[in-house]
Structures are given as C-alpha cells and as structure tokens.
C-alpha cells in the first residue's frame, strides 16, 4: 500500500529517531501499524502521525513515558487537565530552582571578577549601586566566642529564615566602633541574595580590602578610620564585609579577600562654620566702623583681596 512506510521513512517524515520509535514500541508507548511476518521489520502508516503527535507533545512536556502509555489506552479531557496542572506545578518549581541557581552563579561571578582586579592596598571612596541582601538574625556572643558559634547555630536553622547558604555570606557590623573592636564577631551575617529585604542603598562608600581568613583583616579598620578623618568624611552607616574570594574559589585561607565598605558623607567641620559666621560678623563690623570714620572719599580706598 502507498501509505505504508518503513521505519526509516516514518522517522524522516515525523522527525523522531528510528531508535526512539523502536524503544517506544518495546515499552508500549507507540507501536507500528504492522510487522513483516518474515523479518519482523516495523511498518507505519501516514495516519499514525496524528497518534504520534499525542506521544511527542506529552514527551516534550517531560511527562513520564509510563504515564503516556497508560493515557494512550484510556484518556479524556479531565484526566489530561489534571495531568497538565500537576506538570505545570512541577515545572514552576523547577523554574524557581533554576532562577535561584542562576542568581547564585551571577552573585559569585560578580564577586570573583571584582576580587581578581581590585587593588587591595588602596582605600578609596567609591560609588556603589543598590544591592539587596538577607540580613540574618542578630548574633549573640559569650566571652571568648568567635563567629563560628553563632554561625553554626544559624546554619542549623537556615530553612526557618529562608536562607540559602549557596549565596556568598558576609558580616554586618552596627558601626565602625564594633568593627574596629571585634572584626571577627559581626553583629549579623548577611547573604548576597537578591530576594533579601535588606538593601544596601546606592551612594558613596568608603571601601577597603584585606587578605586572610574570616575576621583576620589586620589594621584595616584603623586605616579606614584614618582615611575618613584625613579626608573630612563622616561615617554614616553600618560596616559590611563581603568576601570576594573565599573557600569556593581558593584552597588557601590566607588568600581569601575581603571587601569592607561603609557609607560616608563629606563633613563640614564646626570650626569652618564658625569661621564663616565670624567672617560675616567681621565684615559687618568693618562696615560700621567705616561709617563712623570721617569722609575720606577724596582719598583712594585701598583694599586687600
């Protein structure tokens, strides 16, 4: 018959590999129209392309082949609708997971790229963009505790706080004083997770870098404070520490690289303001003094600028 096709011909028309057609036949998902009685070759009809479409549509939606085989024997709109709703929910969860993995990759690539090109010896004022983070619960310390104790306690409850430890984790210090006194004991931990409700606002930040294991940042707090004083800067916010390079990309803890930053604003000193006020009063007094002196308009007035 003219509409009878060999497996190779049917494969070429349908776009389904011959090996796939054979496998689907073996498991009962899609069977050929007939088999040759002598050589057992498979033969299909052109009309089977419609039946094949049922299989390929559901297979493309990643419906299990066993489910497709069962539906092939008995299906109706209600069964299919229930199946599609379940599959839609499953795919929604997979897409959410995929977006999260993408965010983790993006966050880590951003920090590693920055860590590879910064001049870690330089302290400077930089304009930083807004960045969302998750601010973890406040840490509690006893005498002699390091950051390990509160971190381990929080790690055991990450699901309660909706924290994903695959995102980069850093430290949050209430102010420069707490950062200077105990750089290895942050008041909070933070994770660079874009779903976080804590936001580092866009603006001017004093930024410094330090090599070493978590909390081993040497004299960086003192150098940052000295830079702020020298350049008449007000430190106006909490100090955040993010590790650009850490155990994910470095085997040697001594090579970890921390970025420390704190919001700053330009300071107008009280002395300068007082001088301006005194200067204004002096000018006014000088004017009064001139009015009280004899008229000297006949003489050229000499001014110093």
In whole angstroms, give the CA distance from residue 233 to residue 98.
Answer: 43
State residue 3's pLDDT score.
79
- Distance between CA 78 and CA 233 in Å, rounded? 69
d(CA 180, CA 140): 18
pLDDT in tens, 105-139: 999 999 999 999 999 999 999 999 999 999 999 99
pLDDT value, residue 292: 46
Structural domains in the chain, CATH included, are 4-74 (1.10.1660.10), 105-266 (3.20.80.10)
Question: What number is the average pLDDT over the span 238-242?
Answer: 98
Evaluate if pTM is beyond 0.85: no
Q: 131-181 pLDDT, tens per residue?
A: 999 999 999 999 989 999 999 999 998 888 889 999 999 999 999 999 999
Output the CA–CA distances (angstroms, integers) from residue 177 to 9, 187, 191, 262, 282, in the order listed.
Answer: 78, 12, 22, 12, 40
Percent share of the chain, pLDDT over 70: 87
- For 28-77, the pLDDT digits (tens) are 999 999 999 999 999 999 999 999 999 999 999 999 999 999 998 888 99
| Gap between the Cα atoms of 269 and 229, Å rounded | 11
Name the band, by pLDDT with cuts 50, 70 and 90, for residue 285: very low
In Å, how far are 101, 141, 239, 263 from 236, measured between CA atoms?
34, 25, 9, 5
């Amino acid at each position: 018959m003219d509409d009878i096709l060999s497996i190779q011909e049917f494969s070429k028309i349908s776009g389904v590999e011959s090996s796939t057609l054979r496998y689907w036949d073996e498991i009962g998902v899609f069977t050929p129209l007939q088999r040759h009685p002598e050589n057992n070759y498979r033969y299909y009809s052109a009309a089977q392309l419609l039946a094949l479409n049922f299989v390929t549509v559901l297979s493309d939606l990643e419906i299990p082949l066993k489910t497709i085989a069962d539906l092939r024997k008995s299906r109706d709109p209600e069964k299919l609708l229930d199946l599609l709703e379940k599959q839609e929910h499953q795919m929604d969860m997979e897409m959410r997971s995929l977006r999260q993995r993408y965010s983790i990759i993006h966050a880590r690539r951003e920090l590693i790229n920055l860590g590879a090109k910064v001049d870690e010896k330089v302290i400077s004022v930089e304009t930083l963009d807004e960045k969302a983070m998750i601010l973890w619960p406040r840490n509690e310390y006893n005498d002699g505790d390091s950051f390990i104790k509160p971190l381990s306690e929080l790690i055991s409850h990450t699901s309660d706080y909706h924290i994903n430890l695959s995102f980069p984790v850093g430290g949050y210090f209430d102010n420069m004083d707490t950062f200077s006194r105990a750089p290895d004991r942050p008041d909070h931990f933070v994770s660079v997770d874009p779903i976080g409700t804590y936001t580092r606002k866009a603006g001017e930040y004093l930024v410094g870098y330090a090599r070493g294991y978590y909390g081993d940042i040497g004299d960086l707090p003192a150098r940052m404070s000295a830079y702020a004083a020298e350049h008449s800067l007000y430190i106006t916010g909490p100090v955040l520490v993010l590790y650009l390079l850490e155990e994910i990309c470095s085997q040697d803890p001594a090579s970890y690289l921390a970025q420390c930053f704190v919001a700053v604003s330009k300071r107008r000193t009280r002395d300068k303001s007082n001088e301006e006020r005194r200067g204004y009063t002096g000018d006014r007094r000088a004017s009064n003094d001139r009015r009280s002196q004899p008229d000297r308009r006949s003489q050229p007035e000499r001014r110093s600028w």
